[in-house]
Amino acid sequence: MKYSQLKATALATGCVLISAATAIGFASDRQAPAMRTINGRASLTQVPHAGISSSDTSSHGALSPTVPIQNAMTAVVSAQQGFPQEFRPPEDFYLRGSRARDSGGPHDFYFTRAIYSGYGYRRMGSWAIDFPKADRQFLWGLRRLTNIDAYEAENAVRLTDPGLRSFPFLYALEVGRMSLTEAEVEALRSYLLAGGFLMIDDFWGTYEWQNFEYEIRRVRPEHTIVELPMDHPLFNTFYSIDELLQVPSVRIARYGGVTWERDGYVPHVRGIFDDAGRLLVVINWNTDLGDAWEWAEDPYYPLPYSTFAYQLAVNTIIYALSH
Amino acid sequence: MSNSLFELLFKYSPYVFQQGRFVFSAAWPSMALAAVLLVAGLLAVVRYRKVGGKSGPVDRVVLASIRTLVLVILLFCLLQPALVVSVAVPQENFVGILIDNSQSMQIADRETLPRSEFVAQAFGAEGSELLDALSENFKLRFFSFSDVLERVDGVEPLIYAGNQTYLGMALDGARQELASVPLSGLVLLSDGADNALGGISDSIQSLRAASVPVFPVGLGVERFTRDIEISRIDVPRTVLAGSSVGVDVIIEHKGFGGSTVVLIVEDDSGIVSRQDVELPRQGDSTVVKATFTADEPGPRVFRVRIAPQEGEMVTQNNQRDVLVSVQDRADRILYYEGMPRHDVAFLRRALHEDHNLQLTVLQGTAENKFLRLDILDEDELFGGFPKSREELYEYRGLILGNVRVHLLTSDQQQMVVDFVSQRGGGLLMIGGHSSFAEGGYAGSPIAEVLPVVLPVAEEGATAHSATEIQIQPTLFGMTHPVIQLADTLEDSREHWRQLPPLTVVNQIFSVKPGATTLLVGTSESLPQPQIVLAHQRYGRGKALAFTPQDSWLWQMHHDIPLEDMTHETLWRQLLRWLVQDVPGQVELTTSRDRYAPGQSVRVTASVRDETYIEVNNSQVTARIISPAGLEEELPMDWSLDADGEYQAFFTPKELGFYEIHVGAHRNGDILGQETSHIEVADLSSEYFDAEMRAPLLQRIADETGGRFYTPDTVSALPEDIGHSEGGTTVLEVKDLWDMPILFIFLIVLIGVEWTYRKLRGLA
């Protein structure tokens, strides 16, 4: 089933399905291993890395993301009733370039999606996969789960936009199709050197890795890409993540089967550090966090995937905001 | 009236009148004198009442008054007025002559001749009238003094090389030296420079008690015509290594108003700061702020100087040295951020390479959930913001960023206040939706500490919509070390002009009385300039307010070049300054930072416990390490004058840096320790404030019963000192009836009467 068909199905049955999801899915006991882990108070008060610790001082026990996510999804889908099936805004709609443009801003955090050049994928390019629903649904969760003053809507910015550096957190996906222009290479290099943080998501297998690696080496040729160990602070800034879950695309997730695509059998979280040891780029390879955010409200979408996707992204953002 | 004119009219010098007792020598009883005076007056009045002719009442009054005055003067003379004065018995008494042997006597301000030239002429030359006159009646004893007093046989051995002058010590020493002989007085030949710390009052009291008058002769001019002097330098005694150090240089000048001079700060490695200074046309004094970076840890001497200018009377006072103790320690700062935002990441990056600042972050990530960064152990901040003073006082600085006031309990709010006022810590509040008034701080105890006036706003009230402001330093801020973003003031000013705007959501337009504003922001949408950075002292500590919410834009903005260090520099300087003067549990001070060999050093330690309450029952020891490495351990005693204050004294002999290490214990537990340095050097303060200090010398004369002279008036000294009450004296009666002034008065009165009669046509 194509994404547009899935969306249409979801929209047509939205309210009913959400009710069902509330009654069955979210309220049920379908906890993923990672979920159970993070709900243990002991794990929340551990100090997994020298000099860093996340502590929960609430008297009523550990925080659970389940209820907030559920509430957030309900609101998102309700708001989604008016969405067209094919979201085709004008080309310049996303080009904000200024943090103060939104009425309540500037906020402390903007979930900023990179608009980059790449091989054609639909009308809007590969950068726009899952856009904007995934961004909005993730932001609903982020605002509910944390106290980050996050702008509630999507914020896509071209790499060459002079205002890009006003958004220190950047999200890019489907980078297997990325093909940066020289201007974009220079802009991204400048962004990262100035202090920006880039989160990569949703690309699979050797071929796409090689394409991404080629492009990112044009940006940062002097730095190597390394695997982030599970004791890295990123996995403990908010949730304690003990293992990496491979989040498949929505089609596989809903209907079962293998979770990988192409030859991307094992999920990885890799990073690029600068000379001072600052993490510049977090690379989520062989996994699709964006799909999990986008379909988190779907009662047929497995909860462990969306839970893990929210946890890893929340951790990544808090890490970026504090390191 | 000059002394010579006075003496011409009144026959004797003022000092004789001052010392003498007035009497009438005539044998007539006083009642008879009064009767004669009364009768003479009445006769004059009666006689003139009967005068008729052309004279009117006014004429009669005038003529009667004149005639009465003439009679009174005549009668005064007939009564034989006289002064009874003490007169020294010739060659029975001693006079001590104290000659200033310090460097300031070489200053050539006596018509291009040095001050010492007068000494040579008056007391060294053959046939000197002054020396002869004194020698005629007194036995002279010569002393030279600077930082020591020495007996000398004459003025020949004097080389005027002393680099300190202790007037009190010299007067005390001479008085004691001559205590066993009849002493008519001490003659003090000096410019009045006194470098002693204790003042001169005690010495004057001793001289008065011993009835030893002092006759100072002031050498030099009271005001230079052309001179530039670095009169004082205010500099922090202790800074962290790598800190930008701001010094206040007080420059005094005469005759150089409107001139531009170059102020240079240098150390062993060369020039560290250089700036042009235009000396004010109005007034003699100006304060210049100079900034430089102190990199190398340890005691460092910085020299501040202005090149000698043409026509300067004294060039040696164009430079001063200051000692700065550069410490390579890591000061801890707690940064409590109420929610995740970019400031934390960028601030931590800014301090990443600053090993002297250790930033510990407590960041609220959700309700009752915290992220702790750079903690020392697992227990640190485990329960969130510190709940005890001991825990909070571990830090020297505290940053509150976007923390609503309700996230702090009442006790925690009071702890923050005490952190500043009692512990002496530095508090900084950063702007944001949950800071200042928008965070509910108006009316809270913490608002009292902040240097800004918070508008009244309910906690949780919607913050103002963000306003972009262009930020500029204030006139004062421009020279503040925190604000310096470039090597020179002009470059720094230009750098500030080019910085992109930031945003504020906390509209603050005024600071409290006594607070200082360093940065302001302007915007067309604001009614008045926004306070951006302000600070004030509060108790023992200081509090700062930084109102923008997104200073990280000075790192990320696309107008900021990648190599630009504005964000890093500003935050490093700001936070270093925040904790610069924060005391530890043991606070060590010395009365000065530079001493001459042999000068006594007073070491004072203030000792407090973990909650910064003064401790009087601790064991405090000072370990003194000399430049040669010799160690001396001194027990420090509670001074009784103040709680928690302990003192010890030592006398350094070697030249170089002395390290002073103080440790305090109580019941076997270490309360704290502190290290400081002093420099022992051949200090020369002789050329500073080197104009002749006539007021001090006049005071010595007045309070001891002597008289103050200058080289122009010193000729009266031999006679005056002969009438002092010191030594072996006899009483002598000096007639006053033949004072020229009386005869002049008589002639004038008779002449006036004659002229009046002539003019009025009277007989």
**Least confidently predicted of A309-323, B111-125, B546-560, B618-632:** B111-125
Phi-psi region of B314 (alpha: psi -120 to 50; beta: other; left: phi over 0): beta
Q: At what angle do helices B30-49 and B57-78 cross, to 10 degrees?
A: 160
Instruction: Give the whole-angstrom CA distance, residue A201 versus residue A294.
Output: 13
> Does residue A13 carry a pLDDT above 70?
no
Q: How far is CA B316 from CA B101, B107, B190, B320, B687, in A?
A: 17, 10, 19, 9, 6
> Does residue B224 carry a pLDDT above 60?
yes
In tens, the pLDDT along B99-123 reads 999 888 988 887 778 898 888 888 8
Q: How far is CA A17 from CA A23, A255, B721, in A?
A: 10, 17, 118
> Does residue A17 carry a pLDDT above 80?
no
**Per-residue model confidence (pLDDT) at position B113:** 86
- Which distant-in-sequence residues (6+ apart) come within 8 Å of A161 by Cβ? A95, A97, A187
Instruction: Give the whole-angstrom CA distance, residue B106 versus residue B119.
Output: 11
> Does residue B400 carry a pLDDT above 70?
yes
Give the closest-approach CA distance of B338 to chain A in angstroms.
9
Instruction: Give the whole-angstrom CA distance, residue A184 versus residue B257.
Output: 59
> Helix (H, G, I), strand (E, B), or coil: what is residue B514?
coil
Contact B397, B519 (CB under 8 A): no
- Closest alpha carbon to B79 in B134, B114, B33, B116: B33
Confidence of residue A84 (pLDDT cuts 50, 70, 90): very low
In tens, the pLDDT along B403-418 reads 999 999 999 999 999 9
Whether the ipTM is more than 0.95: the answer is: no
**Per-residue model confidence (pLDDT) at position A113:** 94
DSSP string for residues in B624-683:
EE-TT--EEEEEEEE-SSSTTEEEEEE---SSEEEEEEEEEEETTEEEEEEEEEEEE---
Q: Give the B window 534-593 contacts with A, CB below 8 Å.
A: 549-550, 552-553, 555-558, 560, 562
DSSP symbol at A21: I
Nearest to A322 among B344, B367, B560 (CB): B344
Confidence of residue B461 (pLDDT cuts 50, 70, 90): low
**Per-residue model confidence (pLDDT) at position B421:** 96
Instruction: Give the whole-angstrom CA distance, residue A97 versus residue A103.
Output: 14
**Least confidently predicted of A297-311, B189-203, B517-531:** B189-203
- Closest alpha carbon to B262 in B307, B303, B222: B307
Q: Does A196 touch chain B (CB under 8 A)?
A: yes
CB-based contact B368 A196, cutoff 8 Å? no
**Per-residue model confidence (pLDDT) at position B462:** 63
Q: Where are the beta strands (DSSP E) in B76-200?
A: 81-88, 93-100, 138-145, 149-152, 183-190
Average pLDDT over residues B130-147: 89
Nearest to A168 among B348, B383, B556 (CB): B556
Contact B137, B91 (CB under 8 A): yes
Longest dimension (CA), chain A: 54
> Helix (H, G, I), strand (E, B), or coil: what is residue B163?
coil
Query: Which residue did the predictor score with more confidence, A16 or A265?
Result: A265
Average pLDDT over residues B577-604: 90
Query: Which residue did the predictor score with more confidence, A77 or B40?
Result: B40
| Element containing residue A106 per DSSP (H, E) | none
Residues of B in contact with A52 (CB under 8 A): 371-375
- Angle CA B673–B679–B682, to nearest 5: 160
> Does residue A20 carry a pLDDT above 60?
no
Nearest to A195 among B346, B383, B432 (CB): B346
In tens, the pLDDT along B631-663 reads 999 999 998 888 999 999 999 999 999 999 999
**Per-residue model confidence (pLDDT) at position A208:** 95
Percent of chain B past pLDDT 90, that is, above it, reads 50
Average pLDDT over residues B672-677: 91
**Least confidently predicted of B121-130, B192-201, B580-589:** B192-201
> Does residue B702 carry a pLDDT above 80?
yes
In tens, the pLDDT along A58-68 reads 333 333 333 33
**Per-residue model confidence (pLDDT) at position A21:** 34
Average pLDDT over residues A82-94: 39
User: If you average pLDDT over every residue of chain B, what do you get?
Assistant: 89
Q: How far is CA A89 from CA A94, A123, A132, in A?
A: 9, 11, 10
Nearest to B368 among A56, A164, A318 (CB): A56
Instruction: Give the whole-angstrom CA distance, residue B25 versus residue B40.
Output: 21
**Per-residue model confidence (pLDDT) at position A41:** 26
Instruction: Please tell me the class of the A3-322 domain.
Output: alpha beta
SS3 of B225-243: the string is CCEEEEEEEECCCEEECCE
> Does residue A321 carry a pLDDT above 90?
yes
**Least confidently predicted of B87-96, B314-323, B359-368, B431-440:** B87-96
- Chain A / chain B CB contacts < 8 angstroms: 141
Nearest to B370 among A55, A165, A320 (CB): A55
Query: Which residue did the predictor score with more confidence, A56 or B297?
Result: B297
Q: Give the A window 95-154 contacts with B, CB below 8 Å.
A: 99-100, 103-106, 108-109, 145-149
- Closest alpha carbon to B211 in B729, B580, B636, B753: B729
Beta bridge mates, B644? none
Give the closest-approach CA distance of B570 to chain A in angstroms.
16
In tens, the pLDDT along B507-560 reads 999 999 999 999 999 999 899 999 999 999 999 999 999 999 999 999 999 999
Structure tokens at B535: 């600070």
> Does residue A72 carry a pLDDT above 50?
no
Question: Euclidean distance between the first and final Cα of chain A, in Å?
Answer: 41
Domain boundary assignment for chain A: 3-322
CB-based contact B345 A45, cutoff 8 Å? no
**Least confidently predicted of A13-17, B229-233, B498-502, B525-529:** A13-17
**Per-residue model confidence (pLDDT) at position A79:** 38
| Element containing residue A19 per DSSP (H, E) | helix A14-20
Residues of A in contact with B370 (CB under 8 A): 54-57
User: If you average pLDDT over every residue of chain A, what do you get?
Assistant: 74
Average pLDDT over residues B163-180: 89
Taken in order of first residue, the domains within chain B and their CATH numbers are 3-87+733-760 (no CATH), 90-221+691-727 (3.40.50.410), 227-327 (2.60.40.150), 331-579 (3.40.50.880), 586-680 (2.60.40.1930)
Residues of B in contact with A53 (CB under 8 A): 371-372, 375, 378, 382
Instruction: Give the whole-angstrom CA distance, residue B624 versus residue B308.
Output: 39
Query: Which residue did the predictor score with more confidence, B1 or B97?
Result: B97
Instruction: Give the whole-angstrom CA distance, residue B243 versus residue B354.
Output: 10
Instruction: Give the whole-angstrom CA distance, residue A199 versus residue A99.
Output: 20
Query: B427 φ, ψ to 5°?
Result: -115, 135
Contact A249, A242 (CB under 8 A): no
Contact A180, A188 (CB under 8 A): yes
Average pLDDT over residues B20-40: 77
- Which distant-in-sequence residues (6+ apart) come within 8 Å of A210 by Cβ? none
Contact A300, A256 (CB under 8 A): no
In tens, the pLDDT along A161-215 reads 988 999 999 999 999 999 999 999 999 999 999 999 999 999 999 999 999 999 9
